Structure 1
Amino acid sequence: MADFLQLTGKTFLVFGVANRKSVAWAIARTLEEQGARVVYSVRSEARRKSLEPLMTGRTLLVCDVEQEGAVERLAAEVSAQGLAPLHGIVHSIAFANYADGFKAFHETKRADFLQATAVSAFSLVEIARAFKPYLVPKASVVTIGISSLLVTPDNYGYMGPIKAALESTVRFLAKSCSTETGVRFNVVGAGPLKTSASAGIPGYIESYLYAEKLTFRKKNLETQEVADTAVFLLSERSSGINGATLVVDAGLGSNYFDQEIIRLAMRPTAPEATGH
């Protein structure tokens, strides 16, 4: 079949485009390539202004999910502009305040943890509630998570537990909404990516290069590969998948005992020079 995903003429709302390197942008662009219409939502007027050259001819709205009532106002605006019904929503939003640098997890500040949770996880609950009247019965909601919730990277801080909350939230939304609608909720569990957001994480380059050595193919994940998985989940071709996490990591999570990594880790270190 020429149009396997059957997305032509359908409308999707995408949250979280920051620039050309964003996962959200790769998903939106792929949806458009498949003939879908995309409505974009960004967090601020400043972000909208910075994206104007990229968004020529596209519908770009503003919604700061941290502000109470903002998602409801966006839903009303989408309806008032005749942009509904929606066939799917992409939630690619995350925020953590690392202004003071990384600290031991037990030193996490309450305000920082709650802010990150509200933006990165609870916003999905508000989006599901506000847009429920504007989603078609077989709509699909997709969020972007991480490939493993069992790892404890030093330079990811308290976002690990918050991504765990996001993944759990997806399962509960899938069950909650299934009682009244056929709307599905799923997670794309992405391995390390080269995005502008990740570039701001101290020590990320070293982690990224290490992860690359652990993939089966010795080549890290491409943002487009994550986007392709998300677009599949947004299509009705994935109708049997609900409340799930599809891990996209090029084999990273199954290759901890790679021979090359073992050899490098066990290589004897040079003895320290001593003075005489």
Structure 2
Amino acid sequence: MITSLPSETGRFAEAFPYVRVGTGPETLLVIPGLGDAMFDGEYGRIGTALTRRNFDRFVGEYTVYVVSRPRGLAKDKSIERMAREYAGVLERDVGTASVLGLSMGGLIAQELARLRPDLVERLVVGVSGCRVAAGSRPILRDLRGHALEREWTAIRSRLYDEMFTGMRRRFYPFLSGTVGRLRPPTPAFGSDVVVSIDAILAYDGSDRLEGIDPRTLVIGGDDDPFYPEEILRETHAGLSDAQLAMFRNASHGVFLERKAAFDNWTRRFLDGETTRVRQQ
């Protein structure tokens, strides 16, 4: 049973909130996206249970660490500086690991693999790429404006609108803006959301892709407003040793909407299977 898996929560270096599930012989470090700044940093019973469910495909073979960023980020904190801090977590607390970065976490993961390839066995750039698409920058600026006004429910609703497709795209933003107001996001520091968005907007790693040595999987949806097909392909083409898995008619939330297939591709890559570019 998933609920019986061993788990642990805490803070690395008294700063990085984390939750660990499973005790597999391999290690997987998960770096979360922008939503990481939207909660208080305390992984309680619900957060731990969600981690078990989200990574149940991995915990048989892997010990999975989901590691959040510190609360109270410096105003000038960049993706590159965040990557150096995650390198410290690996070196000091976790050890060498495969790394899965989701969305903003994918930006950090790329820099981590470039700076410290000795710490990264395999790299998965999930719903992310070497930079955000130009067309998504107005969306991010709108989210930044909501963050400055501390309109957390509005941010969540807008993210849902951009992440999902079909019925979920119609239902989730409505649910967030109605009954979801009873349990709004609770950032420990509202400024962390602004700093995170600024870091995303400032990052462009397109000229540094060839410096990433670990074997890499780039995986996402072709209709993602932030990292669409052209960004996925540009990222894949710039890497020296990479695979590309792309989902058709899928958006930024493909890792949730098509979870089984997303997890299957990721797990097969981490386990050493090789494939050419795949579309699904």
State the TM-score, normalizing by the size of structure 1: 0.40
Question: Highest Rg: 1 or 2?
Answer: 1
State the TM-score, normalizing by the size of structure 2: 0.40
